[in-house]
Amino acid sequence: LQAFMGVITITSLLLAATVAERTSAEYSLRESEIKYRELVENANSIILKLDGDGNITFFNEFAENFFGYKEEEILGKNPVGTIIPHRDLEGNNLELVYNEILHNPARFISYENENMRRSGDRVWVSWANKPLVDTAGKLLGILCIGTDITDRRKAEIALQKLNEKLEIRVEERTNALKQSELQLQKQKSALIDLAKNKALNQGDLTKALQEITETASRTLEVARSSVWLYDRTKSTIDCLDLFDRTLNEHSHGLELTAADYPAYFQALREERAIAAFDAQKDFRTREFAESYLIPLGITSMLDTPIQIGGETAGVLCLEHVGMPRPWTIEEQSFAVSLADSVTFAVEARQRQRAEEALRQAEEKYRSIFENAIVGIFQTTPDGQYLSANPALLRIYGYSSIEGLVGTLTDISQQLYVDPDRRAEVVRLIEEQGKVSDFESQIYRRDGSIIWISENTYTVRDSYGNLLYYEGTVQDITTRKQAEVALRLEQEKSDRLLLNVLPQPIADRLKQDQSIIADTFAEVTVLFADIVGFTQISSKISPPELVSLLNDIFSTFDRLAEKHELEKIKTIGDAYMVVGGLPMPRSDHAQAIAEMALDMQQAITDFSNIHNQDFNIRIGINTGPVVAGVIGIKKFIYDLWGDTVNTASRMESHGLPGCIQVTSAIYDILQDKYVFESRGAIEVKGKGQMNTYFLTGSKL
């Protein structure tokens, strides 16, 4: 029993010792866990742990703050697609890297990659990944520790891009130098070929300019090249040749004036060359933008002056299509050399022309002077004859050229009847370059006057300087006499026609208008009839009767002209006049009233002069009418309508010595004239009408 109790005591002591030892171990372990937890939680690094399936099982506080997720939001989730994007910005598959860690647990992998915050921002992290395995080598999980390297990575990327740009620039510079060297060699070869070109040396200007513009376009690879020369006044430049490289064709004939493009012309005068990078905006060339540059797609221009005889004579123009082009110094120098080639070609052409002119002068003038049927002349600018052919001598009445040149030393004063005609010829030549069919009267040698028609133009040297005037003369005296006779006959015919018809109507009939019928809303019509004319005609001879009527109606015609009225016609001893047509007027009724009163006074005066009692009846009405000319023979301008018929009835139903008017006239003129009411009378075809007698004026 004692032995058994002894065993129990020993066992109890051993058990107590074991419990004490285990308690101490647990305490130590708890202390260690607290220490490492504090280290992990307070670490200045991203720490997370993955299980064997790759899901997050631990996420420290630094990781929460860095990625923007709470631990409870991220635990149990796969990092790929949450904090790790499927692909980085360069397109690398980050999921493959992650899988590689899971399938190689013995490896310790460190790498840098892009990660993704909850906000969507991408950051760079340097990861150190440690596989966690059991004693059997089975993967239990992965411990991942990360460091933020975003700033360093951005700096590295920026430095890398800068190095790449520098490498590109060095390469571009090297290529540019090589290209420049090739271009210079190409330009040198082009100039050598031009110098050997026969067209430039033999004076074939057209071919030479074509060779120059083609060389310019193909060597500098521009779309269009052209050569332009000034006119004498340097206010215009004309295109002698334009080569379009795209179409592979030449053209010419375009013209530019200083009035239309003042800034461009000013730049040509002030600058050696115009190198316009952006021609559509450059102040020197933008005047061409809307009409020329934009429609053709031209973006850059290089214009180089052409010097001839020490002066600017034109311009070589190079036009680039596409992106705006900066013109290099080498290209500008090449353009100057091309402009010098133009100068050489023009001077060669001038020399050839001078030689050809000298060779052909005698033959040309002999043929022209001896065989022409019109007068041919040359005169100095100050008005002296240099030469004249036999035909001109005959026209002017001279027997020899010596007599003409020796006598006519001042053409303005000695040849032209009007001394200003010579100055007018010179003025027109300066404005137009020539004068055609210029007609003047001149004195022949015997003092007689004839008409001539001359054509005159200028002759200039290669620099545009005036040498002399040259032209032709025809004697047109016979034609001018016929024209004068025809004009007189025409005027006589017109006067006769205007005695029959109003001017506007006559003009319309001359234009072959067969029917004329115009409506007038308001006119005033007057009819007058000589009372007792039948009895008078039985007492005098027919010639005396016609003379009497002519005197009376001529007086009425003068009154109609005075009051600006239109006489329509006479019918026997009746006279018809109207106001307000063919040209409308607002005072037509008043003008007719004045005419009627003056007609009464004229008849009274006529009776006193002829010692015979004459009297007239006058009827007046106002209203709308149709007026015109109908028929095809013996035209007469006449009126139609109820207004005309009523005016006629006012006359035929009136009283001798009275002016009977309708109520329409009375309503219009009652404030200005004196009327006497006649009352209602029976009017044929109209029935009862209230009428009035016009007796005088209140004015």
Per-residue pLDDT of 309-357, as tens digits, reads 888 899 999 999 999 999 988 889 889 999 888 888 888 888 887 777 7
- Which of left, alpha, beta for 679 (phi over 0: left; psi -120 to 50: alpha)? left
pLDDT digit string, tens, across residues 196-216? 877 777 778 889 899 999 998
pLDDT at 272 over 60: yes
Confidence band, pLDDT 50/70/90 cuts, at residue 162: confident
% of the chain with per-residue pLDDT over 70: 85
Model pLDDT, residue 510: 61
What is the full DSSP assignment across 129-146? EEEEE-TT--EEEEEEEE
Model pLDDT, residue 599: 93
Question: Phi and psi dihedrals of 237, rounded to 5?
Answer: -120, 135
pLDDT digit string, tens, across residues 511-521? 665 567 688 99
pLDDT digit string, tens, across residues 274-292? 999 999 999 999 999 999 9
| Residues 412, 63: Cα–Cα separation, whole Å | 111
User: Which residues have CB under 8 Å from 666's CB, separation 6+?
Assistant: 675, 692
> Which is nearest to 529 in space by CA: 654, 634, 423?
654
Q: What DSSP state is assigned to residue 367?
A: H
Strand partners, 307: 312
Strand partners, 230: 237
> Which is nearest to 421 in space by CA: 393, 437, 435, 441?
441
The pTM of the whole model exceeds 0.75: no
| Residues 492, 503: Cα–Cα separation, whole Å | 14
pLDDT digit string, tens, across residues 506-545? 666 666 655 676 889 999 999 999 887 767 777 777 787 7
Average pLDDT over residues 81-85: 79
Burial class (CB in 10 A: 0-12, 13-18, 19+), 654: buried
Residues composing the chain: 699
Model pLDDT, residue 81: 78
Q: How, if at all, do strands 673-683 and 46-51 pair? A: unpaired
Q: Which residue has the higher pLDDT, 38 or 62?
A: 62
**Mean of pLDDT over the chain:** 84
Average pLDDT over residues 660-686: 92
> Which is nearest to 573 in space by CA: 610, 527, 604?
527
Model pLDDT, residue 505: 63
